[in-house]
Amino acid sequence: EVQLVESGGGLVQPGGSLRLSCVDSGFTFSSYWMNWVRQAPGKGLEWVASIKVDGSEKYYMDSVRGRFSISRDNARNSLYLQMNRLRVEDTAMYYCARDSSVVGGSVWGQGTMVRVSS
Amino acid sequence: AVLTQSPLSLPVTLGQPASISCRSSQSLVHSDGNTHLNWLHQRPGHPPRRLIYKISNRESGVPDRFSGAGSGTDFTLEISRVEAEDVGVYYCMEGIYWRFGQGTKLEIK
């Protein structure tokens, strides 16, 4: 069973930085677009960023563009989210995930919690 | 596209049916000819799990009491007979641009 495992979350002050990582235990990481999705406490799901299979295209939600950077290392089966100039409103559980329209094509990690507070 | 779900809260008696609507502000038919509309289920403390993909295709292991339907801008998730394990929040999701509905919280009456 393919697993995505996130790490790197924690408590950080406003204006600080964190780097999230997501490791794919499967063998097909390099075949998929990958995504970061976040969920503020008690709130719904919110797409954050996406990256193409080879890293050549990257997309961001408006409120993080210019502050967050998504990247990947296909040789390490790893996805990253560099988060700079963090704000209180960035507090959320951050999930890495992928989705393809075939049976079993949706995979979500367990999430890593980011808390931005002074 | 903005996805709007209704209702946002859904109290249901065990064994009774339930229905959730998801409406898009624009057609979700993609240039590949498919409509990548998914339904996800999330229990407290857990990541979301996809139940339905491309409008009406059930994931492996999803009970057949779950069904999806719709086209274009209007979609529906139906549960024929709600069981206790069905509680949680249901999200519709557009699978190309990763847009989510607000979520519908299903609880047992």
Phi-psi region of A56 (alpha: psi -120 to 50; beta: other; left: phi over 0): alpha
Task: Give the closest-approach CA distance of A49 to chain B in angstroms.
Answer: 9
Closest Cβ opposite residue B48 in set A35, A45, A105: A45
- Residue A117's pLDDT is 97
Positions of chain A with pLDDT lower than 70, given as ranges: none
> What is residue A1's predicted lDDT score, i.e. its pLDDT?
74
- Kindly determine whether residue A37 and residue B98, on different chains, have CB atoms separated by under 8 Å: yes
DSSP letter at A37?
Answer: E
Residues 6+ apart with CB under 8 A from A18: A8, A9, A10, A12, A83, A86, A114
Q: What is the pLDDT along chain B (109 residues), one digit of tens a residue?
A: 899 999 999 999 999 999 999 999 999 999 999 999 999 999 999 999 999 999 999 999 999 999 999 999 999 999 999 999 999 999 999 999 999 999 999 999 9
**How far lies B86's CA from each of A88, B21, B43, B106, in Å?**
33, 17, 9, 7
Q: Show which residues on chain B lie within 8 Å of chain A, measured between beta carbons.
A: 34, 36, 38, 40, 42, 47-50, 53-54, 57, 59-60, 89, 91, 93, 95, 97-103
**Chain B residue numbers touching A44 (CB-CB < 8 A):** 89, 91, 100-103
Q: Which positions ≥6 away from B73 have C-beta within 8 Å?
A: B23, B24, B25, B26, B27, B28
CB contact under 8 A, B98 and A50: yes
Hey, is the C-beta of A89 within 8 angstroms of any chain B C-beta?
no
